[in-house]
A and B are shown apart, each in its own frame.
Chain A
């Protein structure tokens, strides 16, 4: 299964503003992370996101997907055709939402008591940097779990662009 992205679609909101959408699916492998970053960059550029914000969104999405690859899908027991990461972007010039979905082990990053950046600096260690970066750079995070066999994890990242 190769990575695949949809075309950008749009929808007019009740207040007459346009909202743009684009989807992407990719194998959960670290060698594919750059494709995820490219997808995010293309969409963010399309909606007019500035370079600094774009770099932050790219990094946050990379961190979430890295977690999914290294932990959620570590012991996946189902058909490998279902072992994918799905990403949906929606946004316009004011805000962007990135929805990241997988079928691996559930992990709620909001409930995970990650060390703070200050704690990490006091006790240097290799791991534990991803979640603090995500929390520091994202305006709002929602985490959902759809039960099933296998179930689905959804992380929704909200970014204000101005």
Chain B
């Protein structure tokens, strides 16, 4: 994969959508992620887990996309949660305070069960 490419794979587990973000998330590629989240919202999917296991790089353009949708997702009973962050990305999420705003877990099962608990 070239460093100016990104692939977004969407899958579903009950009412939870999982976005696998593969590649490089910068000002050039952020619109792909934006479109993917927008499509989920338009189809009334508000519970989203971003699997960043194969995310190699993120700049502010990528963080901006997450922030763009967070209020709308939460207003509709959903949320945006993150898994698979490597230490480098985890540091950056912490630097920006995203670890306070978003749930970040290595174990995707925990994120799924937290969504389920919240719904009860």
Contact = CB atoms under 8 A, between A and B. Distances in A.
B68 interface: yes
A118 B3 CA distance: 30
Contacts of A31: 4, 28
Contacts of B88: 51-52, 55
A132 B67 CA distance: 15
Interface stretch (B10-18, B56-64, B108-116): B56-64
Chain B interface residue count: which class? 20 to 34
B3 A37 contact: yes
B2 A126 contact: no
B67 A124 contact: yes
Contacts of A110: none
B60 A125 contact: no
A88 interface: no
Interface string B60-98: 110111011011000000000000000010011001110
A62 B59 contact: yes
B101 interface: yes
| Closest CB pairs A-B (n = 10) | A34-B3, A129-B60, A30-B28, A126-B68, A130-B60, A34-B4, A126-B64, A124-B67, A66-B27, A30-B27
